Structure 1
Amino acid sequence: MSRPVLAAAGLLAGIPVVLATLGPPLSALPASGGPPFAPDGFLGTDVLGRDVLGVLLHGGASMLAITFTATALSYLAGGLIGLLAGAARSRWLDELLMRPLDIVLAIPGILILLLAASLAGHGPVIVTAVVVVVNAPAIARLVRAATLDAARRPAAEAMRLQGENWWAIHAGYVGRCLRRPLLADAGARLTSAVYLTGAANFLGAGLAPDSPDWAVAIDRNKAGLLLQPWAVLAPAALVVAFTIGVNLLADELTRGKP
């Protein structure tokens, strides 16, 4: 691993996470009603007349909470399905588990988001559910392929001959073999979750329009980009820094020792 790259990745991903974690308890959400797109304060005001710096300190908590929660649930659901399909040694169970996921993979994520918003309304729960539905099938396919490969290795066969149970073989040995491919995939899944969360807020299917969420701030303030660019550029920079940072971090960690 390259220490400078690892440090840069940690810095890029860490700044948005620290702001999202420490921002809300350390500062009050600025009140609206002031002059919109004014140069007042350190970064000026937004479309609602709120201090942009205060919005930044509060806007990351919602986005990153949805992102991390949805990604964790995606790996839980997709990983379980993929592990069962790869370890079942049953063609009919493999087909039963994987073929419905192929249908979901064929549908664009934005279309699933719009469909969910039209049927179930909007809010963080809906956005989280959509991210899980979109990401879990790809994770399941990755886990299934890695499980099939690991379960056929000599070490796994030797464990079967020694009478090891299913849990010891698949949750133990196969699970350890899954760490590197899942780590390599984690950056892409987090990026996908950020993209879908941001898209939901852009389309009005996510949080309320007056939420300080970074994606909502980018959407609501884009009309004043030339008047007060920091209202758009500052939250956009934090989102970009987070996505680049987590992908660099995943890439560097997979270059380490297995």
Structure 2
Amino acid sequence: MTGGNLIRAVRALPWSGKIGLALVAFWIVIALTGRFIAPHSPGAFVSYEVFAGSSGKFWFGSDFLGRDVLSRLLVGAQFTVGLSAIAVTIAVTLGTGLALTAAVGPRWLDELLSRAMDTLISIPSKIFALVLVAAFGSSIVLLTLIVSITYVPGNFRIARSLAVGLTKLDYVEVARARGEGRFHIALVEMLPNMIRPLFADIGLRFVFIVLLLSGLSFLGLGLQPPDADLGSLVRENVSGLGEGALAILMPATAIASLTVGVNLLIDAATQGKVK
């Protein structure tokens, strides 16, 4: 998409889509620059008062240990957005790759992959992730892989339904008649025509992964100190909830704005308003 087409596509978005795009763009920028623009080290004890309110020095106040909430929020957003983006990329790549393999492969392979994914998807995602995290630990690499695997079956089912439908279309039959291999048919003939529906699924998977990572962190099974994502910031400051402390309100608001922004953008994009 050229720059002119991109501008026209943005202008064609409804107001809800523009708000969603602005929120998504904001959090992407924060994830990329947050560590560099944070006014304090995220682990530094900079205030003698815990759960302090907003001030000129500490815009979002201090947390339960007297650390700057804004600095920890900026760095925490980097983990939440970054890990979720990596996890959704892995999940969609694996799910779509297996779906295309099942669609163009022999029937026995399709049956094998489909039954395996049906088995995995029958397990609630949160319970599946909790069991794997409890068994293998919650380092950044393992946590990302575990969350990715959790959402592969859902993407597989959607991608497979799209791919199976495409295998019956004329241009795919023509490619087979030309003698094209399965690899070519899957990646050149079928995948480009699956991008738009998959875009909506990618957005939804991203939201699910953000909420799952935040939920695991809130339960103490996500990122471990000294690292902290947005869910960790909510958990560690939960004692300030009764005081309405910014230390718990701000990361909770950040999670909400990120997920709402992605949902608004997806909704606008899938209504056919983005060309």
Aligned to 1:50: 67
Structure 1 residues 112-136: Cα deviation after superposition (integer angstroms, max 9, x where no partner):
2221222212222222122112100
Instruction: Give distance in 2, aligned partners of 1:5 and 1:257.
Output: 13
Aligned to 2:3: none
Superposition CA RMSD, Å = 1.9
Whether 2:115 is the aligned partner of 1:102: answer no
Whether 2:246 is the aligned partner of 1:233: answer no
Aligned to 2:268: 252
Instruction: Give distance in 2, aligned partners of 1:117 and 1:14.
Output: 31
Whether 2:103 is the aligned partner of 1:92: answer no
Structure 1 residues 140-185: Cα deviation after superposition (integer angstroms, max 9, x where no partner):
1111110110110112112222333333322112111111210111
Whether 2:161 is the aligned partner of 1:145: answer yes
Aligned to 2:45: 32
> SS at 1:149's partner residue?
helix
Aligned to 2:208: 192
Instruction: Give distance in 2, aligned partners of 1:109 and 1:159.
Output: 38
Instruction: Give distance in 2, aligned partners of 1:212 and 1:82.
Output: 35
> SS at 2:237's partner residue?
helix
Instruction: Give distance in 1, aligned partners of 2:73 and 2:217.
Output: 16
Q: Using the aligned pairs only, state the percent identity.
A: 30
Segments of 4+ moved more than 6 angstroms: none
Q: CA contact under 8 A between 1:151 and 1:170: conserved in structure 2?
A: no
Instruction: Give distance in 1, aligned partners of 2:89 and 2:122.
Output: 22
Whether 2:25 is the aligned partner of 1:9: answer no
Instruction: Give distance in 2, aligned partners of 1:240 and 1:230.
Output: 15
Instruction: Mark the runs of 5 or more structure 2 residues left unpaired by the alignment.
Output: 1-11
Q: CA contact under 8 A between 2:217 and 2:231: conserved in structure 1?
A: yes
Q: CA deviation at 1:256?
A: 4.1
> SS at 1:131's partner residue?
helix
> SS at 2:112's partner residue?
helix
Whether 2:174 is the aligned partner of 1:158: answer yes
Instruction: Give distance in 1, aligned partners of 2:62 and 2:211.
Output: 25
Q: Which one-letter code corresponds to 1:9 in the other structure?
A: G
Instruction: Mark the runs of 5 or more structure 1 residues left unpaired by the alignment.
Output: none
Instruction: Give distance in 1, aligned partners of 2:218 and 2:242.
Output: 20
Q: CA deviation at 1:209?
A: 4.3
Q: Would you say how many aligned residue pairs link Structure 1 and Structure 2?
A: 257
Q: Which one-letter code corresponds to 1:43 in the other structure?
A: F
TM-score after normalising by structure 2: 0.87
Aligned to 2:137: 121
Q: CA deviation at 1:204?
A: 1.5
Aligned to 1:62: 79
Q: Which one-letter code corresponds to 1:29 in the other structure?
A: S
Q: Quick one: structure 1 residues 49 and 212, their matched pair in 2 at CA, closer, same or farther if it must change by over 3 Å?
A: farther
Q: CA deviation at 1:246?
A: 1.5
Q: Which one-letter code corresponds to 2:147 in the other structure?
A: V
Structure 1 residues 37-88: Cα deviation after superposition (integer angstroms, max 9, x where no partner):
1225222111121111111121111111110111000011111111101111
Instruction: Give distance in 2, aligned partners of 1:61 and 1:257.
Output: 28
Aligned to 1:242: 258
Q: CA contact under 8 A between 2:95 and 2:152: conserved in structure 1?
A: yes
Q: Quick one: structure 1 residues 257 and 12, their matched pair in 2 at CA, closer, same or farther if it must change by over 3 Å?
A: closer
Which stretch of structure 1 is more off in the superposition, 102-111 or 116-125?
Answer: 116-125
Instruction: Give distance in 1, aligned partners of 2:204 and 2:213.
Output: 14
> SS at 2:134's partner residue?
helix
